[in-house]
Amino acid sequence: MRQETQDRELGMHQKISRRDFLNGVSFAVGSSLLVTNPMWLEAFGVPQSPFAPEKDPAYYPPAKTGMRGSHDGSWEVAHAMRDGQEWPESTADAESYDLIVVGAGISGLAAAYFYRKAAGNNARILLLDNHDDFGGHAKRNEFQAGNRLLLGYGGTQSIEAPANYSKEAIGLLNELGIDVQRFYKYYDQKLFPSMNLKSATFFDKETFGQDLLWPYVIVGYDETYSGGKTLPPEVLAQMPIAEAARKDILRIQTESVDYFPDLDGAETNAKLVKTSYKDFLLQYPKVHPDVVKVFQTSTHDLYCVGIDAVSASACRSMGYPGFKGVKRGPRRHPAGEEGSGEEEPYIFHFPDGNASIARLLVRSLIPGSAPGHTMEDIVTAKMDYARLDDPGNPTRIRLNSTAVAATHVGDPSTAKEVEVTYLTAGKSRKARASNCLLACYNCVVPYLCPEMSQKQKEALAYAVKQPLVYANVQVRNWTAFQKLGVSYVYSPGSYFCSTTLDFPVSLGEYKFPSSPDEPCILHLVRTPCSPGLPAKEQFKAGRYELFTTPFETFERKIRDQLGRMLAVGGFDPARDIQAITVNRWPHGYAYEYNSLFEPQERPASERPCVLGRKPFGRITIANSDSDGHAYTNTAIDQAYRAVQEVVALREGLAKSA
Ligand SMILES: Cc1cc2nc3c(=O)[nH]c(=O)nc-3n(C[C@H](O)[C@H](O)[C@H](O)COP(=O)(O)OP(=O)(O)OC[C@H]3O[C@@H](n4cnc5c(N)ncnc54)[C@H](O)[C@@H]3O)c2cc1C
């Protein structure tokens, strides 16, 4: 079919919620033009705002649609810094601070919170962030369906397993007013089962020879089937894969074979941590390659790579088939230790994800920035961005500001101040503080701190983040899902590996659209992988892909995939899609050590993240990167640790004075 005809059918180029195009790059029109980085705007001949864009009463980044996540205007300065760009002479800020925090994600915001607690309410804190919104990955996406507000999460999705949170992390949530037990009431765990909605698999014709929505999943999420259970042959027979592959799926689900008879439990474990699940399937149960095609992208959500780069050991612990007869070694987490806690349901979810945690932190740090005082009222509270950088408040958040240097004023071992140079509104500025806490991506730190030792720089540069995309699509209604009996679709061959109805959460004044006739948000995930390469190489290639893919490509893929997947349910992308927000995260999940590519014998204290996060003079380092785990509790724990280092340094100085 010709492109124009296809585009017309998909509804491309028709007006959807407050979005427009400029040379293939999308951004919101109207007053929100002012919010994009002026340097970028200048390149397009757009006049710059004479004042900080956040002071514009119409400044409200959560309501922007189109390309979000690491939006245009947020990354160019950091990339120029990486490429050796020099900046014009900086203008010094009039104010100085006790602490400058670089990065206003959950880690940076939590660090400001912990520091204020330790140093007192009058502690002067400046937070800098390169994005037009605070929260980092914890990004809020708002949509408007008529008079109705719909919320989506642009990144950090849920509070996962809060029972495993440290006392500092859960303590912080509690102090912010979050009682995780209330999610048992707010998350309607019965809604989808009561409507008989289940998980399904979409086989696309390019990969599997035909478009087919198969109402089951082999791996991954399903209320009715997970890992251990076996699908009957007549159900497997509907899968559009080779007959031999169907038999192999049944075989690995049912047979109990020890593929490593000569190894004991510990040796078997050692083998599985060094063998990818793909290699395991092909070399031991010797499955047909079509089985790999079905399983390939099932690990994308969690690992940002497919089963070619995830260990068999990790897949076994997630309940993947093939291990019934395979011996187990000693447990990695003896009872009572972290990780052995009771399984909690995946329900600890605010409608905007952990952006609500970021918003609660900001409301606490900056009085007047949002109304209310509960975990319920923050969900619909409108933030006042004009208050974030208020000279009258001891804590200030300066958005659209990229740090390009953090250097000691004098010798790092004796200096009394750190100077941070940053670019904002196209101008170079500098501010001084007694201490600096870098809660930004750890791979940026070597560029900010040229004085640092080569060893520490290399350790920090090791933290290559994992790229992924969270797209939110506002649809007119979700009757197609009801008709098809699905709430989640796994798509092993498609551009987006999964599509799900938004989580059914209602809290405070926010009500989940629980009737299929109501408008709703669909959530799609893409991880750009290059199967076969080592994980880090895949992340590098994926990051490049994300930075070079225009919004229009994402939009076309979304319309095409949803149209084909839900066609039998009557979904029409041209009619039913009302708005699209693509959150691209070229620097997404913190790099997590992957047993396939990391030395196993390395002691924890020698992990690059531990070596990299050591305090350097008056500079301390946080972010989830600094513990190599892509989680909110890690971001908070690392903030706490970095603040303790600041406090220890200050107390040490006080004693020696
Ligand atoms: C799509 C996605 C989904 C996720 N889902 C979950 C989940 O469900 N549960 C969970 O626990 N975790 C999840 N995570 C992990 C998430 O990364 C952490 O939970 C947490 O939000 C990370 O916070 P952070 O402050 O460490 O880092 P970030 O959120 O990355 O914040 C760092 C900030 O520093 C800024 N920065 C970088 N360089 C500079 C500079 N030079 N100058 C100024 N600012 C700079 C960055 O742009 C960013 O805003 C998810 C992550 C992603 C990407």
Whole-number pLDDT of residue 17:
61
Ligand 1 atom nearest 590 alpha carbon? 17
31 residue type, one letter? S
Would the pLDDT of 14 be above 80? no
Evaluate if residue 20 carries a pLDDT over 80: no
Closest among 110, 87, 85, 86 to 99, alpha carbons compared: 110
CA 444 – ligand 1 centroid, Å: 13
229 vs 324: which has the higher pLDDT = 324
Pocket test for ligand 1, best of 440, 442, 443, 620 (most atoms within 8 A of CB): 440
Q: 4 vs 17, 58, 188, 497, CA distance in Å?
A: 22, 36, 42, 26
- Kindly tell me if the per-residue pLDDT of 83 is higher than 50: yes
Q: What confidence tens digit (pLDDT) does each residue in 615-646 have? A: 999 999 999 999 999 999 999 999 999 999 99
Return the residue whose CA atom lies nearest to atom 5 of ligand 1.
Answer: 156
Ligand 1 atom 10, closest CA: 631
What are 597's two structure tokens?
Answer: 């590519």
Phi/psi for 353 (5° steps) reads: 70, -150
Q: How far is the CA of 2 from the centre of ligand 1 (A)?
A: 41
Task: Kindly list the distances between the CA atom of residue 531 and the CA atoms of 172, 181, 496, 636, in Å, as whole numbers in the listed order.
Answer: 40, 40, 15, 33
Closest to 370 in 3D by CA, of 382, 354, 356? 382
Tokens of 141: 């996406």
pTM above 0.85, yes or no: yes
Take atom 8 of ligand 1 and give the residue whose Cα is closest: 157
pLDDT at 76 over 70: yes
**pLDDT confidence bin for 343, thresholds 50/70/90:** confident
Gap from CA of 602 to ligand 1 centroid (Å)? 27
> Within a 10 A sphere around the Cβ of 145, how many other Cβ atoms?
19
Q: State which amino acid sits at residue 621.
A: I
Atom of ligand 1 nearest to the CA of 624: 26
Least reliable range by pLDDT among 47-51, 114-118, 485-489 = 47-51
Ligand 1 center to 592 CA (angstroms): 14
Is 548 exposed, middle or buried (CB count within 10 Å of its CB: 0-12, 13-18, 19+)? exposed
Could you give the CA distance from residue 547 to residue 455 in angstroms, rounded to a whole number?
A: 29
Pair of tokens at residue 387? 């208050």
Alpha helices in 350-507 (DSSP H): 355-365, 445-448, 454-461, 479-484
Instruction: For residues 555 and 546, give the distance between their C-alpha atoms in angstroms, rounded to a whole number.
Output: 14
Atom index in ligand 1 nearest the CA of residue 583 equals 1
Q: Give residue 148's pLDDT.
A: 96
Among residues 26, 58, 55, which one has the least CA distance to residue 399? 55
Distance of CA 455 to the CA centre of its chain: 29
In whole numbers, what is the pLDDT of the chain averaged over residues?
91
* HEC secondary structure over 16-30: CCCCEEECCEEECCH
- Nearest residue (by CA) to ligand 1, atom 2, is 155
End-to-end CA distance of the chain: 78
User: In this predicted model, what pLDDT tens digit does every residue of 127-137 receive, in sequence order?
Assistant: 999 999 999 99
What's the CA gap between 434 and 620, in Å, rounded? 12
CA distance 430 to 313: 49
Q: How many residues does the chain have?
A: 657
Q: H or E element: which one contains 244?
A: helix 243-254
User: Is 327:263 a contact under the CB 8 Å cutoff?
Assistant: yes
pLDDT-derived band at 28 (thresholds 50, 70, 90) equals: very low
Q: State yes or no: pLDDT of 607 exceeds 90.
A: yes
Contact (CB, 8 A) for 99 and 160: no
Closest CA to 125 of 428, 445, 366, 427: 366
Give the residues surrounding ligand 1 with Cβ less than 6 Å away. Answer: 78, 102-103, 105-108, 128-131, 136-138, 155-158, 160, 402-403, 439-441, 444, 468, 470, 585, 588-590, 623-624, 630-632, 635
Confidence of residue 329 (pLDDT cuts 50, 70, 90): confident
d(CA 153, CA 356): 10
Q: Is the predicted pLDDT of residue 34 greater than 80, yes or no?
A: no
Residues 127, 131, 134, 138: is their CA dihedral positive or negative?
negative
- Examine the pLDDT at 324 and tell me if it is beyond 70: yes
Q: Is the pLDDT of residue 41 over 50?
A: no
Query: Cα of 314 to ligand 1 centre, how many Å?
Result: 24
Q: Mean per-residue pLDDT for 113-119?
A: 98
Give the position, in ligand 1's atom list, of the atom nearest the Cα of 404: 41
Looking at ligand 1, which residue's alpha carbon is closest to its atom 14?
156
> Atom 37 (ligand 1): residue with closest C-alpha?
440
Please report which confidence band the pLDDT of residue 221 belongs to, taking 50, 70 and 90 as the band edges: low
Amino acid identity for residue 295 in this structure: F
In whole angstroms, give the CA distance from residue 48 to residue 42. 7
CA of 434 to the centre of ligand 1 (A): 25
State residue 25's pLDDT score.
Answer: 33
Interatomic CA distance for residues 592 and 354, integer angstroms: 20
% the chain with pLDDT above 70: 90
pLDDT at 653: 76
pLDDT for position 9: 78
**pLDDT the model gives residue 400:** 96
Give yes or no for a contact between 430 and 419, defined as CB atoms under 8 angstroms apart. Answer: yes
Report CA(381)–ligand 1 centroid distance (Å).
22
Which H, E and C letters describe 61-118, residue by residue? Answer: HHHCCEEEECCCCCCHHHHHHHCCCCCCCCEEEEEEEEEEEECCEHHHHHHHHHHHHH
Q: How close is the Cα of 137 to the center of ligand 1, in Å?
A: 4
**How remote is the CA of residue 439 from the centroid of ligand 1, in Å?**
9
650 vs 144: which has the higher pLDDT: 144
Q: Is the pLDDT of residue 168 over 80?
A: yes
Q: Is the model's pLDDT at 229 over the cut of 80? A: no
* Integer Cα distance of 358 and 499 in angstroms: 26
- Counting ligand 1 atoms within 8 A of each CB, the residue from 37, 137, 631 with the most, and so the one to mutate, is 137
Instruction: For residues 458 and 462, give the distance between their C-alpha atoms in angstroms, rounded to a whole number.
Output: 6
Position 8 pLDDT exceeds 60: yes
Residue nearest to atom 50 of ligand 1 (CA): 156
Q: What is the per-residue pLDDT for 335?
A: 39
Q: For residue 294, how far is its CA from the centre of ligand 1 (angstroms)?
A: 31
Rounded CA-CA distance 448/282 in Å is: 46
Three-class SS state of 174: helix
Cα–Cα distance for residue pair 387/402, rounded to 1 Å: 20
Q: What pLDDT is attached to residue 652?
A: 83
Cβ-based neighbours of 416, under 8 Å, separated by 6 or more: 409, 410, 434, 618
Q: Which two tokens mark 110? A: 């939590």
More confident residue, 176 or 43: 176
Could you tell me if 130 and 401 are in contact, meaning their C-beta atoms sit under 8 angstroms apart? yes
Which ligand 1 atom sits nearest the alpha carbon of residue 625?
26
Q: Which tokens go with 282?
A: 């092909």
- Which long-range CB contacts under 8 A does 176-181 form with residues at least 24 apart? 176/357, 176/360, 176/361, 176/364, 176/375, 177/360, 177/373, 177/374, 177/375, 178/357, 178/360, 178/375, 179/375, 180/348
Listed residue (570, 403, 431) closest to 125, CA to CA: 431
- Average pLDDT in the 5-29 region? 56
Question: What CA–CA distance (Å, rounded) separates 151 from 508?
Answer: 13
What's the CA-to-centroid distance between 457 and ligand 1, angstroms?
20
Chain-centre distance of CA 433, in angstroms? 30
- pLDDT band per the 50, 70, 90 thresholds, residue 656: low
Predicted local distance difference test score (pLDDT) of residue 38: 45
Protein residue whose Cα sits closest to atom 13 of ligand 1 = 156
How confident is the model at residue 50, as a pLDDT? Answer: 45
The residue nearest atom 48 of ligand 1, judged by CA position, is: 136
pLDDT at position 334 is 42
Which pLDDT does position 491 carry in this prediction?
A: 97
User: From atom 20 of ligand 1, which residue's Cα is the shortest distance away?
Assistant: 632
| Residue 635, token pair as written in the block | 């971001």
State in Å: Cα 103 to ligand 1 middle: 9
Residue 276 gets which letter from DSSP?
B
Q: Residue 339's pLDDT band (boundaries 50, 70, 90)? A: very low
Chain centroid to CA 553: how far? Answer: 21
